[in-house]
Amino acid sequence: MALIPSSYSLVSSLNLLFLLSLQCKVASSAIILSLRHHHNQVNHKRPMIHANQSNCEVFMGTWVRDGTYPLYQSSNCPIIDPQFNCQMYGRPDSDYLKYRWRPLNCDLPRFNGVEFLLGMRGKTVMFVGDSLGRNQWQSLICMISTSVPQTQTQLVRGEPLSTFRFLDYGVTISFYKAPYLVEIDVVQGKKILSLEKLDGNGDAWRSADVLSFNTGHWWSHQGSLQGWDYMELGGKYYQDMDRLAALEKGLKTWANWVDTNIDKSRTKVFFLGISPSHNNPSEWNTGAMTKNCYGETEPITGTGTTYPGSYPDQMRVVNMVIREMNNPAYLLDITMLSAFRKDAHPSIYDGDLSPGQRANPDYSDCSHWCIPGLPDTWNELFYTALFY
């Protein structure tokens, strides 16, 4: 015989359900307000926050150990490039996979791959930029795939465009390689970086429903790593110029293209903050004998309210350009939270290195990130901004 609650118990139960519902709504509202606040106010200064500030700040917080991470195993995701597949190429530790980003005064919703596919059914998400964008692109595909292991998929790799399709949902997640965002042409055997030209690239971007851009690292490359022979500006050619000034000009060309060509009522536009490198151990370990991130297995200690080390000058340029847009892109401001993760780089566990190179710490990759790993957090923030 079923028990019928007394009127007092029934009222108490209803009150409890109301309070739980209210708490969920308050938590969601805090995240939404934080995302909107961050979108409307881009900080030019070194990021800091007062200890008594009570509102949710999704891009400030702390890294906490969480045994439910990682969200997937690299062995179950066939799309990961050797450059990012640290576990496959011999990384002996795994604690770096067991950290969750906890924002100030709130928690991120847990990533749900099925919800992502249902919310994006019939649409295209496109990442545009350099290999950090490819890092994030592959991470997102892995995160979704683990939720729908039986769904039909299709991968087409190309240059500059690669696409991954979840066929049962009509969702396409693409990566378009454009390290500078602006165009680079070959003229008489010389590579010309055109700081005021973008249309050739942009033709491929217009049809996407969600666009996520990034750039930064390639602008500072020197010597054999430099991606251009000349820069073109105002019809003149330069062998070199101030790199921050060049970045600013290129980003303004991109921003003008977005303002002119993208209907923000139809297409959501994101910009991934500058991804920090960890090549200088003096920023986290005074007197360290190592030369870079090699051998690092734990995050930098501290809370994500003050930037560790030197705040990237490139980020100041990004902040300024986005602030001046007519319809600003949403800045996914991962720079500070990533700066604490000196432990999350491929280091020598990079499948693109020869066995001899993998035995030499000097070849450590301290710019890209292991997958699974930190880019999954970028995508948790991306997912929150898209759906919450």
Is the link from the previous residue into 160 a cis peptide, with omega within 30 of 0? yes
Say how far residue 168 (Cα) sits from the centre of its chain.
Answer: 26
> Residue 251 corresponds to which tokens in the numbers above?
């980003």
Query: Is residue 38 annotated as part of the catalytic site, yes or no?
Result: no
Angle between helices 374-387 and 131-145 (to 10 degrees): 70
Distance CA 340, CA 67 (A): 19
Q: Which residue type is seen at 155?
A: L
Let me know: does 206 contact 260? Beta carbons within 8 Å: no
Instruction: Given the residues 131, 162, 347, 364, select the one marked as catalytic.
Output: 131
The residues pairing with 166 across neighbouring beta strands, listed in sequence order, are: 153, 171
- Out of 38, 278, 345, 368, the active site residue is 368
Give 224's DSSP letter.
Answer: G
Q: Which residue from 252, 130, 136, 229 is spatially nearest to 180, judged by alpha carbons?
A: 130
Q: In this structure, how many other beta carbons lie within 10 angstroms of the beta carbon of residue 220?
A: 16
> Contacts by 153-159 with C-beta closer than 8 Å and gap 24+?
155/79
**Catalytic residue at 365?**
yes
Q: Where are the beta strands (DSSP E) in 305-348?
A: 330-332
Give phi and psi for 154, each to the nearest 5. Answer: -145, 130
Beta bridge partners of 103: 61
190 DSSP β-pair partners: 187
Indicate if 131 belongs to the active site: yes
Dist CA 147 CA 381 (whole Å): 18
**Angle made by CA atoms 37, 43, 49, in degrees to the nearest 5:** 80
From 333, 343, 365, 376, the catalytic residue: 365
CA distance 275 to 282: 19
Closest by CA position to 59, among listed 49, 44, 51: 49
d(Cα 290, Cα 33) in Å, to the nearest integer?
42
Give the integer Cα–Cα distance in Å for 331 and 34: 13
Catalytically active residues, by annotation: 131, 365, 368
